[in-house]
Structure formats: structure tokens, C-alpha cells
Structure 1
Amino acid sequence: MASTHPLPSHPGLPANPKRSRTSQSNLPSSNSNVARSPNFRMPPIPHHEMKEIVKESLNKEIARLASLNASQKAATESVTRAAERSRHELEMSLLELYAAGERRKAAAAQVEEARAGTLGVGGRDDDQSAQVSDSL
């Protein structure tokens, strides 16, 4: 539903808004002389200083975040230590597993030599038994 009431006139607006911009630029207006004047200057922009209220709220927020950070560090410290302890135990278990595998290979070779009756005969077998005892 379109309004049929005429719009109030404004000194900076053209009387007929349906006219093109090029035809509007030819219209004399009260502001056109001011805008084209080389002596027209904008007022200086004042320096902005932060208000004390803003500074206080930011300082409170910084203090709150610092205390939150400290509490989170304290809460996660035990979890971090437990994870490091678990990783260390895993590494030690892997070392023990590899050592047990090597001991099993040496024991299997000694069992075969014992079945053949050659265990402990000659210098070669004595060296292997010494190596196995060193790895224990």
C-alpha cells in the first residue's frame, strides 16, 4: 500500500527524486558552494583517551583469565604427569619385550644343541652362553 502523501522538502535533497544524477548535479543547491570551496576544512579529530572504567574492566578481565589459567594448569598437571609416567612405562616394557625375544632365541638355540648333545662342547657355545647371561 503506497503512501500518496508528498514527502517534506529538505534543503539538501532535490525536489524531484526521480530525476537522474546528472540532471541533479546541474541544480544549484545551498551545500554545493560549501563543498566546492577550497577554504572549507573539516574540524580536527580529537585524540581518544581510554576511560578509567574501561581500563578497570580490562584489568579485572586480565586478572580473571590469569587465575583461570593458573587453576587449569594445576588441574592438568597430574594428568600430564600420569601420561608421561605411562609413556615411560611403555618404553621400558618395549625394551623388556625385545630383550625377552632375544633371550627366547638364544634359549631355543641352546635347546636344539642340547637335543643334539653338543651343548657346551667347543668354544663357540661357551661364548653364546656368556652373551645370554650378559643380556639378563
Structure 2
Amino acid sequence: MIGAATHVRVARPSRDLAAAERFYVDGLGLEVLWRSAAERAGEHDLLMVGPAGGGWHFELTRDPADPVEPTPTADDLFVVYLGRPVDESLVERLTAHGGTRVQAHNPYWDEHGVTCADPDGYRLVLCSRTWSLGT
């Protein structure tokens, strides 16, 4: 059964795992939970990042033999609810580590936070609100 303690993995392709690591680890502050390089045909290079002990993580993948081009849209979001105003130094760290500050497709996110595109173009929203159902 799926419940509150169920672990979640979000997997995305990446053009450059080192660039993704700089953004999510050095910029956002997540940890490298796992890393592996393809050793045989059909395998993928993997980078898993997330909070230590958390119930979720990102798996960023790259197939060296047949890379998949990331195809993010303006509404592919990874939202982090901070519960406080967004610290501008965090935004500066994200942009210094390969991110680009962008205007959100949905103005709600600009009203309540800051949106940055990662090196592959996927969007990270730093939301000043706390999460609750219906907000």
C-alpha cells in the first residue's frame, strides 16, 4: 500500500551529470546518495541526489551509448516548500552552480517564490509557503 512513508524516486535524463550535481548538490544543498557509471552496453550512468534520510530522491540518468535529450516544459516543476522567504543567497548559489533564474509559467510561483531552471532546463521552485492541501 502507498502511504506517507513510501519512498519516492523521480527519474530524469540529463545531458551532463556533473553539471546536474553542481546545481543540486553544491547549489541547492542536496547530498549525493548514489553514483555509478555504465560498465556494459545498455547500462546508464546514474546520479541519485536527495536529502539524507529523506523519503524521496532524484535519479538523474545518462545513457552514454544513446543519450536521451531532456525535454522539460515550463510546467515541469520540482517545488521545495521552505516555509519562509527565499534567501537570495540560495538563489545566487543556484545560479553560480549552473542554474538560471526564470519567470514562472504560472504567476502563483512568482508571487510565492523564485523559479530557477537547472542545467537541463527543468524548473526548481523555491516556495516561501508551507505545503498544505489546497494551497
Larger Rg: 1
TM-score (norm 1): 0.18
Structure whose residues are more often strand by fraction = 2
